[in-house]
Chains A and B, each alone.
Chain A
Amino acid sequence: MTAINQQDTQQQELPVGTWKLDPIHSSAGFAVKHMVVATFRGRFEDFDATLEVGAGGEQKLVGTVDPKSIVVKDENLAGHLQSPDFFDTERYDEIRFESTSIRVEGDEAVLEGALTIKGNTNPVSARGAYVGPHEDIAGSTKIGLSFETVVDRTLYGLNWNAPLPKGGFALSNEVTLVVELELAKA
């Protein structure tokens, strides 16, 4: 059995402060099985995130996404994804995540919280990585957080599908959400 490096697995605190998103060097995307065989990916152009870490150890990550900013390779598909079949962006102008806990063990981060899409809120947990803090060229302190989780889109009212002639459906209900955040100390 390989000895586990005790220091790597010890829980550590995130650095105290308010951490604001660097939107240029961050991303929020999704991946979903399409036509059974392939993985289709898309992303959102407009999103925000703030991490608050208090001196007493309290911490909260809040993220918001504008679903109208969805980016896929076809404008007609983008239109369909904004329609009532999917994100219904006329009625719902925000996807929101609020954390209930963030645990960092070594370079691994475990996030739990509530995700709201289309007015439906469900608990989610995500695993990912934490890197930092580190000073950038301009002297600003940065941290990196990345998370990935799988959600059932039908729990959020995104129910569209199409049966395929030889079985199966055009789109999987399971969607992988991938978020990469570069956060700067405010």
Chain B
Amino acid sequence: MRVLGISGSLSRDSHNTELLRAAASLLPSGVEFEIYDGLKDIPPFDEDHEGDAPQSVHRLREEIGAADAVLIATPEYNHSIPGHLKNALDWVSRPYATNTLRNKPVAVMGASTGMFGAVWAQAETRKVLSAIGARVVDREIPVPTADEIVRDRDKLESSGTHSLMVGLLAELIDLTREREQIAA
């Protein structure tokens, strides 16, 4: 099983990218995990070029297509989903009826330096993913004061984030295995 991690942050020292790494360490053996690193290369979505999308978009579609599940960690900008993450999902959503996220198990978590842990960005990311046709895990992992805890595994554990991630990943893996069984 292969899980693709997508961080909604472009920052070099992103708390959300670090949160993905923490989640990766909790995945059971036999599950491959890779973090997608091309978000910055995705140009603005342009309906005039749906049929001849840029190479960077092809690469993202291929990476999602090759993954059995996707795990997104998103920051929150102005109480909402980061523009470049939404933009990338808009590209991936086309062609709508057969897009590579359709039926793909996806889970979302989020970290912010404030007190709310990117809850609205997570909710809106899940909404967008559902509209695209993904099989979305209906849970969230709000990680507030991310600058204090995401790099400290003890604090991740004592804050409850660790156990929330275990639950989220278990559900993501269950959905993925269920899908494998349907396909078999």
Q: Which residues of A contact B (CB under 8 A)?
A: 75-76, 78-80, 82-85, 90-91, 160
Contacts and interface: CB of A to CB of B under 8 A. Distances in A.
B103 A84 contact: yes
A90 B182 contact: yes
Contacts of A90: 103, 179, 182
A91 B179 CA distance: 8
A142 B123 CA distance: 54
Given A76-B97, A79-B133, A84-B130, 19 more contacts: A75-B97, A76-B95, A76-B96, A79-B96, A80-B131, A80-B133, A82-B133, A83-B102, A83-B103, A83-B130, A84-B103, A84-B133, A84-B135, A84-B136, A85-B133, A90-B103, A90-B179, A90-B182, A91-B178
Given A84-B103, A90-B179, A79 B130 contact: no
A154 to B, nearest CB: 16
Interface string B129-146: 011011110000000000
A79 B97 contact: yes
Nearest to B97: A79
Contacts of A160: 130
B98 interface: yes
B139 to A, nearest CB: 15
A114 B84 CA distance: 47
Contacts of A91: 178, 182
Contacts of B133: 79-80, 82-85
A118 B133 CA distance: 16
Nearest to B136: A84
A82 B132 CA distance: 11
A93 to B, nearest CB: 9
Contacts of A85: 130-131, 133
A133 to B, nearest CB: 42
A75 B98 CA distance: 10
A79 B97 CA distance: 4
A79 B98 contact: yes
Contacts of A79: 96-98, 102, 133
Contacts of B182: 90-91
A6 to B, nearest CB: 55
A80 B179 CA distance: 18
